[in-house]
Amino acid sequence: MILSTERLLPDAHGYSRAAEILRDGGRVAFPTETVYGLGGDARNDRAVAGIFEAKGRPRFNPLIVHVDSAEAARAYVEWSEGAERLAGAFWPGPLTMVLPLKPGTRLSPLVTAELPTLAIRVPAHPVAQALLHTFGGPVAAPSANPSGRISPTSAAHVLAGLDGRIEAVLDGGTCDVGVESTILGLVDGPVLLRPGGIAVEEIEAVIGNRVARHTDGDAISAPGQLASHYAPGAIVRLNATTRQEGELLLGFGTVDCDLNLSPTGDLREAAANLFGHLHRLDAQGAKAIAVSPIPDTGLGQAINDRLRRAAAPRPGPAQP
């Protein structure tokens, strides 16, 4: 669907319109001090699915949640002394902390890609601050560019990639840092997960400890994190057109099934429902879950990627 993307100015009308779009589950690109982010309500499955859809991301990787203060952040993550010090030194600013997710936060499981941790930051850009304040909730935001393209540092860059694919862009001029936030894991000791706007040496000076460097460059492929990835207890069988003995069928489109990802065959609705429905069938004690074929276009690619992983043979505890 082609949308007409609203260009909003950073004034009272622009902020209230942007907040209204976010509350309705829409997507608003906004400036931060690093790059423009593509924001959606982090509690709304459909909004978060819409971010992946607009970017054309072939995978549901975890997103950074943006809030307007350290106090707001504490509602979502298990806080620690290290987090307190780092927040005191670098927030608001280009530091993202990965901390254990608090139970019962009601964030969309698409935001964390079902990891037990959450990446969170408080941006310093006055336009980002004002938007978060007006909206009053957590905003999930990856960079506002189509997947595989470079990160945007102006509203014109955002529109060059996403015009017609998102509800609005809040034009706050040019970003000054232009590189992404530094991502620091604080789950089992400090680990640099992505270098960025704040140098690791500055972080070490604040915490008085060495920060381990993550060498393979891919935060979520770290073995510990992969192992904690949710897989249903049930066996998963893909591209199923009928139910076999003992299976529950997770449907898509007009099929007779136990639970339907999207009766109308809408991929965004299916993405929004994916994790919740898998959990629900699992909780029903299914021994096996059969899944209808999902078209491998647009968001279907990310859905199929996730389903293939759920269906893959499970690594035993002895494997690396």
CA gap 95, 88 in Å, rounded: 11
Least separation in angstroms between CB 267 and Mg ion? 22
Under rule CB under 6 A, which residues in 209-268 are in contact with ligand AMP? 219-220
CA 294 to chain centre: 22
Residue of 143, 181, 273, 292 interacting with Mg ion (CB under 5 A)? 143
Binding segment for ligand AMP (CB under 6 A), chosen from 56-64, 131-139, 249-257, 275-283, is: 56-64
Structure tokens at 63: 């997103």
Residue of 67, 175, 183, 274 interacting with ligand AMP (CB under 6 A)? 183
Least separation in angstroms between CB 99 and ligand AMP? 9
Q: Which is nearer to Mg ion, 38 or 294 (CB)?
A: 38
CA gap 204, 190 in Å, rounded: 9
Q: Which is nearer to Mg ion, 150 or 283 (CB)?
A: 150
Q: Which is nearer to ligand AMP, 98 or 236 (CB)?
A: 98
The upper half-sphere exposure of residue 311, i.e. CA atoms within 13 Å in the direction of its Cβ, equals 15
Residue 62 binds which one of ligand AMP, Mg ion, none, with CB within 5 to 8 A depending on kind? ligand AMP
78: alpha, beta or left, given left = phi > 0 and alpha = psi -120 to 50?
beta
Q: What track of x and - describes contact with Mg ion for positions 96 through 135 (by CB under 5 A)?
A: ----------------------------------------
Q: What track of x and - describes contact with ligand AMP for positions 59 through 88 (by CB under 6 A)?
A: --xxxx------------------------
Binding segment for Mg ion (CB under 5 A), chosen from 6-14, 122-130, 140-148, 204-212, is: 140-148
Least separation in angstroms between CB 22 and ligand AMP? 17
Residue 117 binds which one of Mg ion, ligand AMP, none, with CB within 5 to 8 A depending on kind? ligand AMP
CA gap 177, 193 in Å, rounded: 19
Structure tokens at 308: 């293939």
Q: Which is nearer to Mg ion, 143 or 262 (CB)?
A: 143
CA gap 53, 146 in Å, rounded: 9
Q: Which is nearer to ligand AMP, 50 or 251 (CB)?
A: 50
Q: Does the protein bind ligand AMP through residue 117 (CB under 6 A)?
A: yes
CA gap 187, 225 in Å, rounded: 10
Structure tokens at 199: 């140098």
Give the footprint of Mg ion on this chain (CB under 5 A).
143
Give the footprint of ligand AMP on this chain (CB under 6 A).
61-64, 98, 112, 115, 117-119, 142-143, 180, 183, 193-194, 219-220
